[in-house]
Chain A
Amino acid sequence: MTINRKYACGALLGLAFVPAPALAADDSAEQGPNPKNWAMQAGNAQNHRYSSLKQINTTNVKNLRVSWMFSTGVLRGHEGGPLVIGDTLYVHSPFPNKVFAIRLADQSIIWKYEPKQDPSVIPVMCCDTVNRGLAYADGKIYLQQADTTLVALDAKTGKVLWSVKNGDPKKGETNTNAPHIFKNKVITGISGGEFGVRGYVTAYDKDTGRQLWRAYSTGPDQEMLLDPQKTMTWTDGKMAPVGKDSSLSTWQGDQWKIGGGTTWGWYSYDPKLNLIYYGSGNPSTWNPAQRPGDNRWSMTIFARDVDTGQAKWVYQMTPHDEWDFDGVNEMILADGVNVKGKPRNVVVHFDRNGFGYTLDRATGELLVAEKYDPTVNWATHVDMKSGRPQVVAKYSTQANGADVDTKGVCPAALGSKDQQPAAYNPANKLFYVPTNHVCMNYEPFKVEYTAGQPYVGATLSMFPAPGSHGGMGNFIVWDAGSGKIVKSKAEKFSVWSGALVTAGGIACYGTLEGYVKCVDANDISKELFKFKTPSGIIGNVNTWEYNGKQYIGVLSGIGGWAGIGLAAGLEKDTDGLGAVGGYKELSKYTELGGVLTVFSLP
Chain B
Amino acid sequence: MANLRKAAWLFGAAIVLGAFAPGAAFGEDQKLYQVQEGNKVDNATLEGWRTWRALACERCHGNQQQGLVGPSLIEALKRLSRDEFKTAVLKGRPEKGMPNFDGSKMVTENIDGLYAYLKGRADGAIKPGHVYPMK
Say whether, besides A123-B92, A128-B69, A572 and B54 are in contact (CB < 8 Å).
no
Q: Is B103 a contact partner of A456 (Cβ separation < 8 A)?
A: no
Residue among B54, B94, B105 making CB contact with A119, cutoff 8 Å: B94
What are the residues of chain A within 8 A of B54 when measuring CB–CB?
445, 447-448, 454, 456-457
Residue among A126, A451, A459, A567 making CB contact with B53, cutoff 8 Å: A459
Interface contacts (Cβ under 8 Å), in number, total 91
- Is residue B128 within 8 Å, beta carbon to beta carbon, of the partner chain? yes
A450 to B55, CA, bound (A): 10
| Other A-B pairs, 15, CB within 8 Å; known A568-B63, A572-B128 | A119-B94, A124-B99, A126-B59, A128-B69, A445-B53, A447-B54, A450-B104, A451-B103, A456-B56, A456-B59, A459-B58, A461-B63, A564-B59, A573-B64, A573-B130
- Give the residue name and chain of the B residue nearest to A567 (CB): B68
Q: Is A576 a contact partner of B128 (Cβ separation < 8 A)?
A: yes
What are the residues of chain B within 8 A of A471 when measuring CB–CB?
none
What are the residues of chain A within 8 A of B58 when measuring CB–CB?
459, 568
Q: Is A453 a contact partner of B94 (Cβ separation < 8 A)?
A: no
What are the residues of chain B within 8 A of A459 when measuring CB–CB?
53, 58, 63
- Is residue A120 within 8 Å, beta carbon to beta carbon, of the partner chain? yes
Give A343-372 as 1s and 0s: 1 = Cβ < 8 Å from B's Cβ atoms: 000000000000000000000000000000
Closest 3 interchain pairs by CB?
A: A573-B129, A123-B99, A454-B56
Q: Is A122 a contact partner of B94 (Cβ separation < 8 A)?
A: yes
Say whether, besides A445-B53, A572-B129, A573-B130, A564 and B63 are in contact (CB < 8 Å).
no
Q: Is A453 a contact partner of B55 (Cβ separation < 8 A)?
A: yes
Number of interface residues of A (CB under 8 A): 34
What are the residues of chain A within 8 A of B105 when measuring CB–CB?
448, 450
Give A314-352 as 1s and 0s: 1 = Cβ < 8 Å from B's Cβ atoms: 000000000000000000000000000000000000000
Give A286-318 as 1s and 0s: 1 = Cβ < 8 Å from B's Cβ atoms: 000000000000000000000000000000000
Which residues 67-123 of B have a CB within 8 angstroms of A? 68-70, 92, 94-95, 97-101, 103-106
- Is residue B60 within 8 Å, beta carbon to beta carbon, of the partner chain? yes
- Measured CB to CB, the closest approach of chain B to A130, in angstroms, equals 12
Say whether, besides A448-B105, A461-B63, A567-B62, A194 and B94 are in contact (CB < 8 Å).
no
Which residues 433-447 of A have a CB within 8 angstroms of B? 443, 445, 447
- Give the residue name and chain of the B residue nearest to A451 (CB): B103
What are the residues of chain A within 8 A of B31 when measuring CB–CB?
none
- Is residue B127 within 8 Å, beta carbon to beta carbon, of the partner chain? yes
Say whether, besides A127-B59, A447-B54, A450-B103, A572 and B94 are in contact (CB < 8 Å).
no
What are the residues of chain A within 8 A of B53 when measuring CB–CB?
445, 459
What are the residues of chain B within 8 A of A563 when measuring CB–CB?
68-69
- Measured CB to CB, the closest approach of chain A to B104, in angstroms, equals 5
What are the residues of chain A within 8 A of B99 when measuring CB–CB?
120, 123-124, 126, 453
A572 to B129, CA, bound (A): 6
What are the residues of chain B within 8 A of A120 when measuring CB–CB?
92, 94, 99-100
| 13 sampled A-B residue pairs with Cβ under 8 A | A123-B92, A123-B98, A123-B99, A124-B99, A127-B69, A453-B101, A454-B59, A456-B59, A563-B68, A567-B68, A568-B63, A570-B66, A572-B129
